[in-house]
Amino acid sequence: AKPASGRAGAAFAAAQTKLGSPYVYGATGPSSFDCSGLTSWAYAQAGVGIPRTSQAQANAGTRIYSQSDLQIGDLVIFYGDQHHVGLYAGNGQVLHAPRTGTVVRYESIGNMPFQFGVRV
């Protein structure tokens, strides 16, 4: 992956500190998160305000349709209804809060239907 921009890199670094935190629907941190709660919290640590929901985050920047153009820290939107979001982690991996009963973790980008990335 290409190196992260300053704020995307800072957001990604913040999210990495939350690996293992529990997924809780509607949670926005700092001890538990849902998918868009994690991404909005991470960007807030980088001093960047982005919307709260994955659907709104899908419109929060420049869309990137080729996975090969993704940079670390870019938002990655999944599913046709855009209901899931994570942070690109490089090497085909996403850092995200998957679903109830899981924790913040890395996962292959191919495990979910990729729609596009968003560079904030």
Chain segment 70-116, per-residue pLDDT in tens: 999 999 999 999 999 999 999 999 999 999 999 999 999 999 999 99
Instruction: Give the pLDDT of residue 78.
Output: 98
Q: Is residue 1 part of a domain?
A: no
User: Catalytic residue at 96?
Assistant: yes
What lies within 8 Å, CB to CB, of 68 at 6+ separation is none
Let me know if residue 60 belongs to a domain.
yes
pLDDT tier, 3 (very low <50, low <70, confident <90, very high otherwise): low
> Can you give the pTM of this predicted structure?
0.96
Catalytic residue among 4, 8, 11, 35: 35
Residue 71 lies in a domain: yes
68 given a catalytic annotation: no
pLDDT at residue 2 above 60?
Answer: no
Domain span including residue 93? 6-119
The verdict on whether 59 is a catalytic residue reads no
Q: In this structure, is residue 77 part of a structural domain?
A: yes
Residue 120 corresponds to which amino acid? V
Residue 63 maps to which CATH number?
3.90.1720.10
From the list 10, 33, 84, 109, the catalytic residue is: 84
**Contact predicate 73/64, CB 8 Å:** no
Domain count, the chain: 1
Predicted pLDDT at 5: 74
- pLDDT, tens digit (0-9, with 9 covering 90-100), for 9-59: 999 999 999 999 999 999 999 999 999 999 999 999 999 999 999 999 999
